[in-house]
Amino acid sequence: MKLLNRKTNIDFMSRRNIALVFSSILIVLSIITLATKGLNFGLDFTGGTLIEVGYPSAPNTNDVRDNLASAGFDSIVQTFGAATDIVVRIPPGDVEESSAELSTRVLAALSQGVEGEIEMRRVEFVGPQVGDELAEQGILAVIYAMVGVFLYIMFRFQWRFSVGAVAALFHDIIISMGIISLVQIEFDLTVVAAILAVVGYSLNDTIVVFDRIRENFPRFRKRQPVDVINTSINETLSRTLMTSGTTLLVLFALFFVGGKIIHGFAFTLLVGIIVGTYSSIYVASAALVLLRVSKFDLMAPEKEGAAIDARP
Amino acid sequence: MNQYSIWKYLAILIIVIVGAVYAVPNFYGEDPALQITSSRGFELPADLTTNIDDALLVEQISFSSSEQQGNRLLYRFKNTEDQIKAADVVRKALGEQYVVALNLAHATPDGLRAIGGKPMTLGLDLQGGVHFLMQVDMDTARSQQLDRYVDDIRAVLRDQGIRYVSVRHEGNGLLVMLRTAEDRDQTLNLMRTDQSLVGLDILELPTGESFGISATVQEKQLLELQQTALKQNITTLRNRVNELGVAEPVIQQQGADRVVVQLPGVQDTVEAKKIIGATATLEYRSVDETNDAFTASQTGRIPPESRLYTYQGNPLLLKKRLIVSGDQLIGASASFDQQTGQPSVSVTLDGVGSKRMLDFTRENVGNRMAVVYIEQKPSGSKIEDVISVAVVREPFGKRFQTTGLGSIREASQLSLLLRAGALAAPMEIVEERTVGPSLGADNVAKGFKAVIIGFVLVLVLMAFYYKVFGLVANMALFANLVLLVSLLSMLGATLTMPGIAGIVLTIGMAVDANVLIFERIREELRNGNTPQASIRSGYEKAFSTIADANITTLIAAFVLFLFGTGPVKGFAVTLSLGILTSMFTAIMGTRAVINLIYGGKKRVTKLSI
């Protein structure tokens, strides 16, 4: 079986301006969404208390809410997966309230007026200072990852490639976060991990194309850079589709059967990998064209020979 | 031709076999077991096993095996019924000196265990339990240390008969005021030389109406004291957790001022929090019999050497000087007072404590002594309760009883806290995560289902798409999974839900290397190369691409590891290990198998790819 039996020869780069407009619109839309709707920050970042309980039979969420309100809790009550599963979120309060004793009192309040026993499934309490630190660490992690990658590509390829790869990463992160914000997936630590995995994956994809470009420049000395880039993308196309395909397959498995806890993680990766595959062609490679990459960029040691070649 | 040397085939085979052996422990279940430890962390006596064996024999409870692992004894049982019955029997037989905890011991066969084989530890999100992140209140710790210096300076001056105006701490420094220049010079000298006053920067204040010395505690000394406080807190927490009888707890320092406490299997978080978070200690002080407490409380003129307390609604003056404090206590157990029948705590003191107690009681027969219960609240405030005031009837030292407690339950909780020791500095829970056992089991089931479905889907796709080569890649993928699991087991890594996600993602990405190689081989074939040459150049040309692509992903995973905590770290570890093992299996492993299939043949006209 072969997806692409013949050698493909799609002129990707001729559509790079359309793609540039498309990506720009997506980025602007993402920034607008992020600015207006914001991220649905999870407990890890906001601090507060989350309690998941299993009821013997599906309770009325309004009753649960009233129950908690009468016990003096300002809470958000939602069902989680099944109708018998209830998640209660309590925002961080003043100093005394932020004590971990809170979860104990909430559990007591929930148990009131329930026939049979409610089952405690999960309690999470995060103090406010911990949340701030985690947010800071998350942002730092993304920045350091980018710096590391920029340097590595500069060392192995050339700075134009670094710019292309990092531009693609920015593109992927902003659009992924835009979509997370749009569908209001809970933004917690696992989503941060997923975004970093997207960074890794998108890079992987970009590097494979770059590697081929590096290989093809000496092979097709007479051709235009745009032409060489086009050929390289075509040559790696079936690999790109196959790898994205297998990864998406397992992610779908994770998304549909992995359970609610891992939902946000799987969703972020699904979005990120689709965006990342697109960006390695239309952002990373297009950036090379924009930056006027040429065969000389990758042949520093052979400058003399190249100069002779350039003569008429 | 495409052939590896024999040693290369052998090396690959050995690595895969060793990997398989270390992955195997994960497939054995767990035995219900009892874990027996000494409640004060002592060595277990050699005859302990005979005692337990006899006790179990009397009750006709059979166990499958027993073994000693360091400072704990492990008894395995056939079923949980026996385990629970045995727990009662053993508890009764051994008494309060030992902690008997229900445990699940992994059932790895002895042979495998002898070579260090063990299953992956399941994280709390998979097996259920409590996770606390506790922060030490360093500000309070700091001011406690300054208070200690103040006490020490006063003690030194008293011993030398030097009369001072005041000794107090102000901000981050200490201030000593004296009456004469002579006293000041003598004090200066003492402060520079006394063994108990190290780590101070001492400064003579300009002479004014009084003669003063100011001192600041050196930053190095403060840091050292804080580290000691943190270490002592960890020891105390460990003692308390031990008292709770939790099997396999984790108590670790995190960062400069935090401690992680993980208690797998514990469900009663209320009780756990109460015991772990409590900072109770007892102090024994003498009652100030020379001054009248009522006058002092009405006029507000409290003698400088005493402090005012209330006991049963009445004012009480206690001397500031301690007789004995909680850290000189080596044993405590709850009992009933034989004369009155009231709940009480019998206390045993260490050498220094019992000498001081004896000195005090000898001189003070007929005088009163009070017990102060001190509990530190997370907010920094202190509760100080006088729980008993009693007349000293005869001199005593090492052993005595404290009464005045409300109930036997209160008595046993206090004795537990006293045994475990006091926290050196107050702590606050800044993060708590509790996972119920049913949710944990749910997570495991769903996680493994996702792994298996994803795995099978990839296998099917690869076999269809690359035929024989696809099957070879599938073998490599399987070997990769085995190696990854065995590496995680050998490293003693904890498997968490994000860790499982990392494994799933690795499966998806591990085929990438093979896809790159196989696409390259197809390309070479299309360019008209012979099958053998295509295999060789396919592998060679794909290598640098694979290396570059994986190293950049490793950089991202490494950063994730550095900045992440807990579950995120677990994800980073599985992802990085997965990249490494996949490079081995996808490049070396598949090449070896392909070589075995095609490499030896003289004439290969067609590759099944």
Query: Does A194 share its domain with A266?
Result: yes
Query: Do the domain assignments include residue A312?
Result: no
Task: Determine how many CB atoms are found less than 10 A away from the CB of residue B129.
Answer: 27
Q: Which residue type does A306 have?
A: A
Give the per-residue pLDDT at A254: 85
pLDDT value at A167 more than 80: yes
Query: Does A99 share its domain with A204?
Result: no
Give the per-residue pLDDT at A306: 43
pLDDT value at B311 more than 60: yes
pLDDT, tens digit (0-9, with 9 covering 90-100), for B529-552: 999 899 999 999 999 889 888 888
Q: Give the per-residue SS3 of chain A.
A: CCCCCCCCCCCCHHHHHHHHHHHHHHHHHHHHHHHHCCCEECHHHHCEEEEEEECCCCCCHHHHHHHHHHCCCCCEEEEECEEEEEEEEECCCCCCCCCCHHHHHHHHHHHCCCCCCCEEEEEEEECHHHHHHHHHHHHHHHHHHHHHHHHHHHHHCCHHHHHHHHHHHHHHHHHHHHHHHHHCCEECHHHHHHHHHHHHHHHHHHHHHHHHHHHHHHHCCCCCHHHHHHHHHHHHHHHHHHHHHHHHHHHHHHHHHCCHHHHHHHHHHHHHHHHHHHHHHHHHHHHHHHCCCCHHHHCHHHHHHHHHHCCC
Query: Does A80 share its domain with A188?
Result: no
Query: Do the domain assignments include residue A311?
Result: no
pLDDT, tens digit (0-9, with 9 covering 90-100), for B47-65: 788 888 888 888 888 888 8
Structurally, chain A folds into a number of domains equal to 2
Give pTM, 2 decimals.
0.74
Q: Please indicate whether, in this complex, the C-beta atoms of A126 and B431 are within 8 angstroms of each other.
A: yes
Q: Which residue of B has its CA nearest to A100?
A: B429
% pLDDT > 90, chain A: 21
Q: Please indicate whether, in this complex, the C-beta atoms of B508 and A251 are within 8 angstroms of each other.
A: yes
Alpha carbon of A312: minimum distance to chain B alpha carbons (Å): 31
Q: Which residue of B has its CA nearest to A237?
A: B519
pLDDT value at A271 more than 90: yes
Chain A residues with CB inside 8 Å of B428's CB?
A: 99, 127
**Span B292-301, average pLDDT:** 82
Query: Does A237 share its domain with A287?
Result: yes
Give the per-residue pLDDT at A48: 80
Which of A110, A126, A142 is the last residue before a domain boundary? A126
Q: Please indicate whether, in this complex, the C-beta atoms of A247 and B269 are within 8 angstroms of each other.
A: no
Contact present, B456 and B383 (Cβ < 8 Å): no
Give the per-residue pLDDT at A34: 94
Q: Tell me which residue in B454, B462, B515 faces A239 most closely, judged by beta carbons.
A: B515
Chain B residues with CB inside 8 Å of A208's CB?
A: 516, 545, 549
Give the per-residue pLDDT at A302: 43
pLDDT value at A300 more than 60: no
Query: Do the domain assignments include residue A80?
Result: yes
**Span A247-261, average pLDDT:** 86
Which of A99, A126, A153 is the last residue before a domain boundary? A126
Q: Tell me which residue in B446, B455, B523 faces A257 most closely, judged by beta carbons.
A: B446
Q: Using CB atoms and an 8 Å cut-off, which of residues 225-244 of chain B contact chain A? A: none
Chain B residues with CB inside 8 Å of A280's CB?
A: none
Q: Is B67 helix (H, G, I), strand (E, B) or coil?
A: strand
Query: Do the domain assignments include residue A166?
Result: yes
Chain A residues with CB inside 8 Å of B558's CB?
A: 148
Query: Do the domain assignments include residue A84?
Result: yes
B292 touches chain A (CB under 8 A): no
% pLDDT > 70, chain A: 88
Query: Does A195 share its domain with A278?
Result: yes
Look up the domain containing A58 and give its range.
48-126
Query: Does A90 share its domain with A202?
Result: no
Q: Please indicate whether, in this complex, the C-beta atoms of B443 and A261 are within 8 angstroms of each other.
A: yes
pLDDT value at B334 more than 80: no
Q: Please indicate whether, in this complex, the C-beta atoms of A242 and B557 are within 8 angstroms of each other.
A: no
Q: Tell me which residue in B270, B447, B563 faces A104 most closely, judged by beta carbons.
A: B270
DSSP string, B195-251: GGG-SEEEEEPPPSSSEEEEEEE-HHHHHHHHHHHHHHHHHHHHHHHHHHT-SS-EE
CA distance B364 to B341: 26
Domains of chain B: 6-24+436-599 (1.20.1640.10), 29-107 (3.30.70.260), 139-222 (3.30.70), 278-431 (3.30.1360.200)
B458 touches chain A (CB under 8 A): yes
Give the per-residue pLDDT at A307: 45
B180 touches chain A (CB under 8 A): no
Chain B residues with CB inside 8 Å of A123's CB?
A: 269, 432-434
A70: confidence class by pLDDT, cuts 50, 70, 90? confident
pLDDT value at B592 more than 70: yes
Most confident of B206-210, B240-244, B285-289, B581-585: B581-585
Q: Please indicate whether, in this complex, the C-beta atoms of B556 and A119 are within 8 angstroms of each other.
A: no
pLDDT value at A99 more than 60: no
Query: Does A92 share its domain with A141?
Result: no
pLDDT value at A4 more than 60: no
Give the per-residue pLDDT at A5: 56
| CATH code, A204 | 1.20.1640.10
Q: Using CB atoms and an 8 Å cut-off, which of residues 547-566 of chain B contact chain A? A: 548-553, 555-560, 562-566
CA distance A24 to A26: 5
DSSP secondary structure letter of residue B1: -
Query: Do the domain assignments include residue A158?
Result: yes
B422: confidence class by pLDDT, cuts 50, 70, 90? low
Q: How far is CA B220 from CA B120, B192, B253, in A?
A: 41, 17, 20
Task: Determine how many CB atoms are found less than 10 A away from the CB of residue B158.
Answer: 12
Q: Tell me which residue in A125, A137, A145 faces B432 most closely, judged by beta carbons.
A: A125
A303: confidence class by pLDDT, cuts 50, 70, 90? very low
A vs B, Cβ pairs < 8 A, gives 236
pLDDT, tens digit (0-9, with 9 covering 90-100), for B244-289: 777 778 888 887 888 888 888 776 666 677 777 666 677 888 888 8
Chain B residues with CB inside 8 Å of A155's CB?
A: none
Query: Does A103 share its domain with A192?
Result: no
Query: Do the domain assignments include residue A109?
Result: yes
Query: Does A117 share its domain with A219?
Result: no
| CATH code, A77 | 3.30.70.3400
Query: Does A287 share its domain with A184?
Result: yes
Per the listing, tokens 């085939």 go with B9
Query: Do the domain assignments include residue A3?
Result: no
Which of A126, A150, A169 is the last residue before a domain boundary? A126
Query: Does A169 share its domain with A212?
Result: yes
CA distance A229 to A261: 42
Query: Does A106 share its domain with A185?
Result: no
Give the per-residue pLDDT at B559: 82
pLDDT value at A116 more than 80: no
Chain B residues with CB inside 8 Å of A147's CB?
A: none
Residues in chain B, total: 609
